[in-house]
Chain A
Amino acid sequence: MQPILKVDLSTEEVSEYDIPYEWENDFIGGASLAARILYEYLTQELDPFSEESPLLFLNGPMSGTSGPTVSRFVVCGKSPATGLWAESNCGGFWGVELRKTGYDGIWVTGKAKSPKFLWINDGNLEIRSSEKFIGLDTYEIQEAIKEELNNPKVKVAGIGIAGENLIPSALILTDHGRVAGRTGLGAVMGSKNLKAIAVKGSKNIPVANEIEYKKLRSRANQELNKDNITKIVREMGTAASAEYFDYLGTMPKKYYRQGVMEGADNISGATISDTILTKFAPCHACVVACGRVVKISGADKEQKGPEYETLVGFGPNLLISDAEFVTRMGDLCDRFGMDTISVSNTLGLAFTLFELGHIAEKDTDGLQLNWGDKEVVEQLIPMIAKKIGFGAFLAEGALALGRRFGAEDEAVQVNGLELAYHDPRGVSGMALVYATSPRGGCHNQSDYFLAEIGKSEESLGIKNFDRQAGAEKAENVAIHQNYRTMANALVICFFGSINPELIVDLTNAACGLDLSIADYLEAGERAWNLKRAINNNLGLRRENDRLPKSLLEPLSDGGAAGYKIEFEEMLKAYYQARSWDWDTGIPSCEKLISLKLDFVTEDLYT
């Protein structure tokens, strides 16, 4: 891979960082490589908002090439939401443009004395004032910088008011609403007084074996075009399966407390396609084209359409079944620069606490938090971004809100990160995915919910189990996590339904490697354990591998009714599959050494 550009905003010193070759071989790229690079810097004492706190934007070895679903880059650091490892990847065109500057990453430290943005133009870096851009939203900042640079082709990744206000759910947005949404890295950017990073390049993107790569890329795209999942996602976006998830009881309603909701079928990719969809918005070179562009009534122009998590979060999660309203709330959050999962989840908790009597009108600035009340939701979102009144409590996230009102157990979160909308009572493997994800309650370290409904991959050794089976699927989950850890290392999109053998061939051609599927999975396992070790260093132990209380109770209705997750047994089997110590939650010394993570053992075992 190409060098990383290192910028210290305190001193305005700029240098190049060459990635050690052996690290590239062992960790490939993206989040895995970032974990290796940042390992020494992520200490328990490190304040995510301190000058020393690193913020690393990194590509994968296929990012920006002509390959399939390879537009993505990842942002990594220490999360202000969880205090743990943070990673969040993002599609669009920004990462592609970064590669064309001759750099594969930007490593930001320090804190600018006044608001700045970075302008990287073909290898030249300028640190420019962004004083006049403060308060702009995530779309306005893109336009303002393009205008200042007098170049509409510049790609800009920026933060909104939420990032400026250091809200733990603040995101980084680029292009047509593509976001690095989770773990609050927009707030880390804000803490550095860094409003945006603009990039423009013209250099060729390096590929080790270009002829072979092009051949494989054509094959992959041909296969993708014939693939059912591609067709489904292209036609209906990422919310294509919403109705099926509803049928299976995996789509949460009323903050995970209800299995059925009238009108839930109004909240689906199919409904969006039938009503407000105007066109698709693909990322760089992507044949899947999951991005939606919609036109809703009363709006003067088209806007980004919601994906699955946003649809459910501001829809059935809050007992709302109005797709146009949900679209507007998604856009509002994007513009303020807040993660829609975290915000909608925290709102769900607030409504729950109001219903249970933990919160009253005196706490909410007089607002009544009644389920399905769209007006209140719309009123609260700006209050969160601007930290106004009750909004300031919500801005802290679900865990903090629960603690503040003496009801921590009601928060549907793991390690400070609010859960995504795939209820493990309908797809039990997600219980382990949420509990053990290195970044808290997240579905993007393994989309095992799709494996549960049939998207298994035989070549990986993943077996089929009943979607509500128990401990017997623990090893499967671990394999799937290893597999998806590699996707996050290559920074390829989960929606590219490419068979694993072909992905490995593409990786080999891009990197000049000779990996087998087993090597590929081992590299995933290595990075999974490295991220675990980082979190162990940050204080994470077995008791952190938990599920929220409400998910341990069966639902009374819907497609998952009556099923109780036997979580402890599942976790024990998972620990065994991972060779993690049941008492401490730390990977065994033997496992770490077998994965060439010897350097980690010094910190964990001495």
Chain B
Amino acid sequence: MENIFPSNEWLQSLIDFLNNDPDYARIAKKWEGDIAFSVKADGPLKEDMNIYLDLWHGACRGGKILEETEELDAAFVLEAPYGNLVKILSGKLDPMQAMMTRKLIVNGSMTYMMRNIPTVLDFVRCARSVTDKVLEE
């Protein structure tokens, strides 16, 4: 089965990966904070989509694709058009570059984020590992 970003299968694969990857467990052992992706409609993604992940001490305690009616409430909200997230997940766009060039907007404590950049980068590594496919036009 191929994990298409974004889909429930992709999300579950990511959760499983985060919970079984020793490097992530080590690097993110101090991380405390849930994150949400606010994926903006762009290209083949016709409607906005919000994805929630509960990350805690090097593991993922759960996650879901939010219903339209559910509130987007997380310590960190990462907002980007679908195409930019695809570029990050396919390795064509560096996550730090995306953040610094306005391709990915970060809402939340920047202090915490900057203190935990190795965790952020390793999270992206994990997400890249489980992404087999993306939506096509």
Which residue, of B98, B99, B104, B111, has the highest number of chain A Cβ atoms within 10 A?
Answer: B111
Specify which chain A residues have a CB less than 8 angstroms from the CB of B111 in the assembled complex.
Answer: 235-236, 269-270, 273-274
Specify which chain A residues have a CB less than 8 angstroms from the CB of B8 in the assembled complex.
Answer: none
> How many angstroms between the C-alpha atoms of A244 and B97 in the bound complex?
13
> How many angstroms between the C-alpha atoms of A297 and B47 in the bound complex?
53
Please classify the interface of chain B as helix (H, G, I), strand (E, B), loop, or mixed, using the class held by over half of its residues. helix
Say yes or no: is A229 at the interface (Cβ < 8 Å to chain B).
Answer: yes
For window 93-126 of B, CB contacts with A under 8 Å fall at 94, 96-102, 104-106, 109-111, 113-115, 117-118
Q: Which of A236, A268, A273, A454 touches B100 (beta carbons < 8 Å)?
A: A454
B99 touches A228 (CB 8 A): yes
Say yes or no: is A457 at the interface (Cβ < 8 Å to chain B).
Answer: yes
For window 11-27 of B, CB contacts with A under 8 Å fall at none
B114 touches A454 (CB 8 A): no
B118 touches A236 (CB 8 A): no
| Contacts known (A270-B114, A273-B111); A464 close to B101, Cβ less than 8 A | no
Say yes or no: is A10 at the interface (Cβ < 8 Å to chain B).
Answer: no
Q: Which of A228, A265, A268, A450 touches B110 (beta carbons < 8 Å)?
A: A228
Which residue, of B100, B104, B106, B109, has the highest number of chain A Cβ atoms within 10 A?
Answer: B100
B101 touches A454 (CB 8 A): yes
A236 touches B110 (CB 8 A): yes
B110 touches A243 (CB 8 A): no
Specify which chain B residues have a CB less than 8 angstroms from the CB of A269 in the assembled complex.
Answer: 111, 114
| Contacts known (A228-B106, A231-B106); A457 close to B101, Cβ less than 8 A | yes
B114 touches A456 (CB 8 A): no
Say yes or no: is A499 at the interface (Cβ < 8 Å to chain B).
Answer: yes
> How many angstroms between the C-alpha atoms of A227 and B100 in the bound complex?
8
For window 229-273 of A, CB contacts with B under 8 Å fall at 229, 231-232, 235-236, 240-241, 243-244, 247, 265, 268-270, 273
For window 444-461 of A, CB contacts with B under 8 Å fall at 450, 453-458
| Contacts known (A228-B110, A236-B110, A453-B96); A247 close to B117, Cβ less than 8 A | yes
A228 touches B105 (CB 8 A): yes
> How many angstroms between the C-alpha atoms of A346 and B118 in the bound complex?
33
| Contacts known (A243-B117, A247-B118); A454 close to B99, Cβ less than 8 A | yes
> How many angstroms between the C-alpha atoms of A265 and B111 in the bound complex?
12
| Contacts known (A231-B110, A464-B94); A243 close to B100, Cβ less than 8 A | no
Specify which chain B residues have a CB less than 8 angstroms from the CB of A232 in the assembled complex.
Answer: 110, 113-114
A454 touches B118 (CB 8 A): no
Specify which chain B residues have a CB less than 8 angstroms from the CB of A227 in the assembled complex.
Answer: 102
Nearest to B94 among chain A residues (CB) is A454
Nearest to B95 among chain A residues (CB) is A454
Specify which chain A residues have a CB less than 8 angstroms from the CB of B117 in the assembled complex.
Answer: 243-244, 247
Please report the number of residue pairs spanning A and B whose Cβ atoms sit closer than 8 angstroms: 64
Nearest to A232 among chain B residues (CB) is B110
Number of chain B residues close to chain A: CB under 8 A: 19
Specify which chain A residues have a CB less than 8 angstroms from the CB of B105 in the assembled complex.
Answer: 226, 228
Q: How far is the CB of A327 from chain B (nearest CB, A)?
A: 18
For window 55-99 of B, CB contacts with A under 8 Å fall at 94, 96-99
| Contacts known (A454-B97, A464-B97); A499 close to B102, Cβ less than 8 A | yes
A240 touches B101 (CB 8 A): no
Nearest to B115 among chain A residues (CB) is A270
| Contacts known (A228-B106, A231-B106); A455 close to B114, Cβ less than 8 A | no
> How many angstroms between the C-alpha atoms of A304 and B105 in the bound complex?
30
Nearest to B109 among chain A residues (CB) is A235
Specify which chain B residues have a CB less than 8 angstroms from the CB of A229 in the assembled complex.
Answer: 100
Q: Which of B98, B100, B102, B110 touches A235 (beta carbons < 8 Å)?
A: B110
Nearest to A223 among chain B residues (CB) is B102
Q: Which of B97, B104, B113, B118 touches A455 (beta carbons < 8 Å)?
A: B97
Specify which chain A residues have a CB less than 8 angstroms from the CB of B104 in the assembled complex.
Answer: 228
B98 touches A454 (CB 8 A): yes
Specify which chain A residues have a CB less than 8 angstroms from the CB of B110 in the assembled complex.
Answer: 228, 231-232, 235-236, 240
Q: Which of A228, A243, A247, A274 touches B102 (beta carbons < 8 Å)?
A: A228
Nearest to A248 among chain B residues (CB) is B117
Q: How far is the CB of A559 from chain B (nearest CB, A)?
A: 10
Q: How far is the CB of A233 from chain B (nearest CB, A)?
A: 9
A454 touches B96 (CB 8 A): yes
> How many angstroms between the C-alpha atoms of A240 and B115 in the bound complex?
9
B115 touches A455 (CB 8 A): no
B102 touches A455 (CB 8 A): no
For window 334-371 of A, CB contacts with B under 8 Å fall at none
Q: How far is the CB of A495 from chain B (nearest CB, A)?
A: 12
A228 touches B115 (CB 8 A): no
Q: How far is the CB of A232 from chain B (nearest CB, A)?
A: 4
> How many angstroms between the C-alpha atoms of A455 and B98 in the bound complex?
8
For window 435-492 of A, CB contacts with B under 8 Å fall at 450, 453-458, 464
For window 177-228 of A, CB contacts with B under 8 Å fall at 223, 226-228
Nearest to B96 among chain A residues (CB) is A454
Specify which chain B residues have a CB less than 8 angstroms from the CB of A464 in the assembled complex.
Answer: 94, 97
A453 touches B100 (CB 8 A): yes
Specify which chain B residues have a CB less than 8 angstroms from the CB of A499 in the assembled complex.
Answer: 102
Q: How far is the CB of A275 from chain B (nearest CB, A)?
A: 11
A456 touches B106 (CB 8 A): no
Specify which chain B residues have a CB less than 8 angstroms from the CB of A457 in the assembled complex.
Answer: 101
> How many angstroms between the C-alpha atoms of A236 and B117 in the bound complex?
15
A450 touches B106 (CB 8 A): no
> How many angstroms between the C-alpha atoms of A499 and B102 in the bound complex?
9
Specify which chain A residues have a CB less than 8 angstroms from the CB of B114 in the assembled complex.
Answer: 232, 236, 240-241, 243-244, 269-270
Q: How far is the CB of A162 from chain B (nearest CB, A)?
A: 34
> How many angstroms between the C-alpha atoms of A241 and B99 in the bound complex?
13
Which residue, of A231, A457, A458, has the highest number of chain B Cβ atoms within 10 A?
Answer: A231
Q: How far is the CB of B39 from chain A (nearest CB, A)?
A: 17
Specify which chain B residues have a CB less than 8 angstroms from the CB of A456 in the assembled complex.
Answer: 97, 101
Q: How far is the CB of A244 from chain B (nearest CB, A)?
A: 5
Specify which chain B residues have a CB less than 8 angstroms from the CB of A450 in the assembled complex.
Answer: 100
Q: How far is the CB of B117 from chain A (nearest CB, A)?
A: 5
Nearest to A450 among chain B residues (CB) is B100
Chain B residues close to A by CB (< 8 Å): 94, 96-102, 104-106, 109-111, 113-115, 117-118
Minimum-distance CB pairs A-B, first 4: A454-B97, A455-B100, A454-B96, A454-B100
Beyond A223-B102, A240-B114, A247-B117: 13 further Cβ-contacts under 8 Å?
Answer: A226-B102, A227-B102, A228-B100, A228-B102, A228-B106, A229-B100, A236-B114, A450-B100, A453-B96, A453-B100, A456-B97, A457-B101, A497-B100
15 contacts between A and B (CB under 8 A): A226-B102, A227-B102, A228-B99, A228-B106, A232-B110, A235-B110, A240-B110, A240-B114, A243-B117, A244-B114, A453-B96, A453-B97, A453-B100, A454-B96, A455-B100
